[in-house]
Amino acid sequence: MMKIITDIKNINIKQDTVVTIGNFDGVHKGHQKIIKDTISIAKNKKMKSVLFTFSNHPVNFFRKDKIKNIITKEEKYEIINKMGIDIIVSIPFNEFVINLDPQEYIQKILLDKLNAKQIVIGHDFRFGLNRGGNAEFLQNIGKTYGFDVNVMKPICLENIRISSTYIRSLLKNGEVDKVNQFLGRQYKLKGIVVHGKKIGGDILGFPTINLKYDENILIPKTGVYQTTVNIDGKIYDGATNIGYSPTVKQNEFTVETYILKYSGDLYEKEASINFIRRIRDEIKFDTIQELKKQMNMDIENIISYSL
């Protein structure tokens, strides 16, 4: 079972460790390679594997809410735990961390707290006051203090470097099929089903669930998506509309999903919406009948694609 430490004061690791450091937002394929290598080295050397990260995005410390997360903190922990990391240290990025120069960062965190004997980082890793430390600096210090440093080369897919920044740009463009390739799994939104305005069922004849999700998560571009819905461990096909429902003049941003071949009350239940592909833009139709016709076409599209 993975141990989770969330306060630097509570770090008291006595065993020798192999440490990987980063934000790991999304835990994409590049992150997965670094984590797997960290675990492998730790097992071979009979050490503990440690993932050191921050509970808040460093950019948001300087510019509040500048960057939305790709996954929730709980999902990040769940994915990393399944991969087999022994200890995750997730502390706030704050004044204490900011004011550590690179050498203090190494001494006070990596050595004194994490007991690092080997460190695994990405090629572009920067750390310490004014981001003054880099991979070369870390390697040079390691020769003096007796720890090794593995610098991972960029991981590419279709000649594009896998990064959280690129994945965010794909989400903003609604390219969830490509997001899934770079994540190595389906992008998803988890939340609680809440009461909406019942427009889907009462007016359109397509009852939908309205998802209350973590507001710190980056939502894909407005539009209609083919999705699957996980409820109580069962998977259903779905059509998810992200946006403002302009035809019925809702003017309120929602994530609403019509679940194919399902009937029942889902209010207050937890649901997971898994995104497969974007079908179309959100369109303002002249009449409700035109909208209903289009929704039927969307569902036929999803059924034929799933066959």
pLDDT at 196: 65
CATH number of 186-306: 2.40.30.30
Query: Does the predicted TM-score (pTM) go above 0.75?
Result: yes
Which residue intervals of 159-287 are DSSP H helices?
164-172, 176-183, 199
pLDDT at position 197 is 59
pLDDT of residue 1: 86
pLDDT of residue 264: 77
Listed in order, the ranges of the chain carrying CATH 2.40.30.30 are 186-306
3-state secondary structure of 225: strand
Mean pLDDT per block of 10 residues along the chain (307 residues) reads 93 95 95 98 98 91 86 95 97 92 95 97 91 93 95 94 96 98 97 72 68 94 96 92 80 89 85 97 89 92 87
Q: What's the CATH number of domain 3-161, 3.40.190.170, 3.40.1180.10, 3.40.50.620, 3.40.190.10?
A: 3.40.50.620
Give the separation between CA 230 and CA 252, rounded to whole angstroms.
25
Q: On the CB side of 298, how many CA atoms lie within 13 Å of its CA? A: 28
**Amino acid, res. 253:** F
Q: Which two tokens stand for residue 169?
A: 């740009």
Q: Looking at residue 250, what is its pLDDT?
A: 66
> Are the CB atoms for 26 and 70 separated by under 8 Å?
yes
Residue spans in the chain of domains classed CATH 3.40.50.620: 3-161
